[in-house]
Amino acid sequence: MTNQSIALQKIQNIVGPQGWIETKGGMEPYLREWRGRYQGAAAAVISPKSTNEMARVLKICNKAGLGVVPQGGNTGLVGGGVPDFPGGDGIVISTQRLNVIRDINPLNQTMTVEAGVILAHIQQAAKDVGLLFPLSLGAEGTCCIGGNISTNAGGVQVLRYGNTRDLVLGLEVVLADGRTWDGLRSLRKDNTGYDLKHLFMGAEGSLGIITAAVLKLYSRPQAKETALCGCANAGNLLEIFQRLNTSVGNTLSAFEIMNRFSLEIAVKHVLAVNNPFENPHSQYALIELSGHDGIRSTLKYILDQALEDGLIADAFIAKSRAESDQLWAIRHAIPEAQKHEGGSIKHDISVPVSSIEEFLTRASDLVEANLPGGRICAFGHAGDGNIHFNISQPLGADTDAYLKNWDTINRIIHDLIVSIGGSFSAEHGIGQMKRGDLKRYKSDVELDLMRALKKALDPCNTMNPGKVI
C-alpha cells in the first residue's frame, strides 16, 4: 500500500460511510463545474461531520501529500471548487454535513453558523427572529456560507451592506496542517494585531478550510420598493444612479443594469419571466430602495423627474411583493437564459462607477472589431461598478469553434479594463480560470506577498493546489 492509500483508508475510518463517496457516479456532481467548463478527478469525495473530524482529516492529508479541494455548494464560476489533480489522486472535502446553525443572538445581532449551511437557510433563520442577513445572489438556494466567505461573494445588496467580508465578525478555520484556529468572536471592535480572518476570506480555499463563522445581522427595513426603468443609454442610467444616491443615500439597496439583449433572452427562455414594458429599450435599471414607509413616494418623485428630464423612457414601480419578485425574476433569469443562446464568453469585471459608460462603449467596439456578430449580454451590479460583460455566439455559429476565442477575447477585454483602473475579477475570484490574469496584471510586489502568505500557511501545498496562486 502506498502512503496515500493508507491515508485514504484512515480518512474513510474517520468520516464513516455517510461521509465517504468513491464511486464514479456518486462523485460526478462534485467534479463538474456549474457551467460545465471544468471537469476534474479525485480519489474520493469526503464530508466530515464536525470541526474535529475536519482537523484530523487535514492532518493526515498534509502528512501524506494528499491535495484537498474544499467545496460548498459548487456554484463557483471560476473552477475553484473543482479538483485539478493531474493524477486524480487528491480529495474533495465537501462541507455539506457541517450544516448546523449554532447560535442566533438578537441582542448582538449575530448568527454563528457552520460552513455548509445554505445561504437561503441563513436568510430564513434571520427572518424568523425578525432580522436580516443581507447577502443575496442568484445561487442562494444552493451555495453555502463557507463558499460565500471563501469567494468573498458580492451579490445584489453590496451597495448598502458591502461584500461578504463586511458581513463576517469571526471565523473558525482548520489550517493546512490540521490545527484549528478558533476566531469565532462576535466583536465589532477588536484591534489586537493582524486581522487574521481577512486572510481566509476570498482565499478560495487555498489557505485553510473555514468550518464556521459569526455573521452580522441587521434590522429589517420597514419597506422595500422596486422599480424597473427603460433608458436610451447607459449614461442616462448612471445619471439616475447619481440622483438616487444624492437624495436617498444608503436607502438605495440595489441598482442593477441589464442591456436589451440580456432582458429579452431572460423573458424568452425562462418560464414566468415577463417584461412589463411594451416597447424595447437599450438599457434597463432595476432599482430597489429599502427603508421606512415613505420611500415609495420618494422613488416615484425621483423617477417622475427623470421622465420629465428625458433620462428614462419608461418606468414601472412594483405595487406588491409579488410584482417586485417578478422584476427580480428577470434579473435572476439571465445566467440561465444565456445557456439557451449557445456559447458565451464571459467577463466579471469592475470599474469605478464613473467609468462604466466608457467601458461599455469601448468594450462593445472591441467586440465588433474582434468578434463580428457576437451578441453582448451586459448586466450586473452597476451600483458597485460590477458588470458581467458576456458575449453570446453569433446566430448560427458553431459553439465549440466560437468558444475557442475565449482566451483571446478575455485578454482584449481585461487589458482594456486594467487600462482604465478596473479589476478583471470583480466577484467570482481567480480559481483555475484567472490564474494567468493574476500573473499578468498583479505587480511583482503583490504576487510576492501572496506567495509568501501561501508558503507560510500551507508550505506543503495541500490546500486547493492549482488554484489562485
Query: Is 134 a binder of ligand FAD (CB under 6 A)?
Result: no
Binding part of the chain for ligand FAD, among 56-64, 136-144, 191-199, 390-398 by CB under 6 A, reads 136-144
Q: Regarding beta strands 110-114 and 208-216, do their DSSP bridges make them parallel or antiparallel, or are they unpaired?
A: antiparallel
Residue 240 CB, nearest approach to ligand FAD (Å): 22
Residues 19, 73, 170, 183: which binds ligand FAD (CB under 6 A)? Answer: 73
Q: Are 34 and 75 in contact (CB under 8 A)?
A: yes
Residue 71 CB, nearest approach to ligand FAD (Å): 4
Cell of 29: 456532481
Residue 237, SS3 per DSSP: helix
Amino acid at 388: H
Query: Is 71 a binder of ligand FAD (CB under 6 A)?
Result: yes
Q: In whole angstroms, give the CA distance from residue 196 to residue 150.
A: 14
Binding part of the chain for ligand FAD, among 1-9, 204-212, 258-266, 402-410 by CB under 6 A, reads 204-212
Q: Regarding beta strands 20-21 and 375-381, do their DSSP bridges make them parallel or antiparallel, or are they unpaired?
A: unpaired
Q: How many CB atoms lie within 10 A of CB 166?
A: 13
Binding part of the chain for ligand FAD, among 14-22, 143-151, 264-272, 293-301 by CB under 6 A, reads 143-151
Query: Is 170 a binder of ligand FAD (CB under 6 A)?
Result: no
Q: In whole angstroms, give the CA distance from residue 213 to residue 200.
A: 11
Q: Regarding beta strands 208-216 and 168-175, do their DSSP bridges make them parallel or antiparallel, or are they unpaired?
A: antiparallel
Residues 153, 167, 311, 417: which binds ligand FAD (CB under 6 A)? Answer: 153
Query: Is 157 a binder of ligand FAD (CB under 6 A)?
Result: no
Q: How many CB atoms lie within 10 A of CB 407?
A: 11
Beta bridge partners of 21: 45
Nearest residue to ligand FAD, by Cβ distance, number only: 147
Binding mask 26-55 for ligand FAD (x = CB under 6 A): --------x---------------------
Residues 44, 45, 126, 209: which binds ligand FAD (CB under 6 A)? Answer: 209
Query: Is 148 a binder of ligand FAD (CB under 6 A)?
Result: yes
Query: Is 221 a binder of ligand FAD (CB under 6 A)?
Result: no
Query: Is 324 a binder of ligand FAD (CB under 6 A)?
Result: no
Residue 76 CB, nearest approach to ligand FAD (Å): 3
Cell of 338: 444565456
Query: Is 427 a binder of ligand FAD (CB under 6 A)?
Result: yes
Q: Regarding beta strands 386-392 and 348-350, do their DSSP bridges make them parallel or antiparallel, or are they unpaired?
A: antiparallel
Query: Is 410 a binder of ligand FAD (CB under 6 A)?
Result: no
Q: In whole angstroms, give the CA distance from residue 34 to residue 268.
A: 22
Strands (E), 116-159: 131-132
Residues 19, 67, 70, 385: which binds ligand FAD (CB under 6 A)? Answer: 70
Residue 155, SS3 per DSSP: coil
**CA atoms within 13 Å, Cβ hemisphere of 113:** 30
Query: Is 171 a binder of ligand FAD (CB under 6 A)?
Result: no
Strands (E), 303-397: 314-317, 344-345, 348-350, 375-381, 386-392
Let me know how many helices (H) and strands (E) the chain has, helices first: 16, 19
Query: Is 19 a binder of ligand FAD (CB under 6 A)?
Result: no
Query: Is 230 a binder of ligand FAD (CB under 6 A)?
Result: no
Residues 204, 384, 437, 458: which binds ligand FAD (CB under 6 A)? Answer: 204
Q: In whole angstroms, give the CA distance from residue 215 to residue 137.
A: 17
Q: In whole angstroms, give the CA distance from residue 438 to residue 424.
A: 9
Q: Are 130 and 113 in contact (CB under 8 A)?
A: no
Binding part of the chain for ligand FAD, among 55-63, 139-147, 319-327, 358-366 by CB under 6 A, reads 139-147
Query: Is 115 a binder of ligand FAD (CB under 6 A)?
Result: yes
For ligand FAD, give the closer residue by CB, 14 or 337: 337
For ligand FAD, give the closer residue by CB, 15 or 209: 209
Q: Given the rule CB under 6 A, which residues bind ligand FAD?
A: 34, 69-77, 80-81, 95, 115, 137-139, 143-144, 146-148, 150-151, 153-155, 204-205, 209-210, 335, 427-428, 431, 464, 467
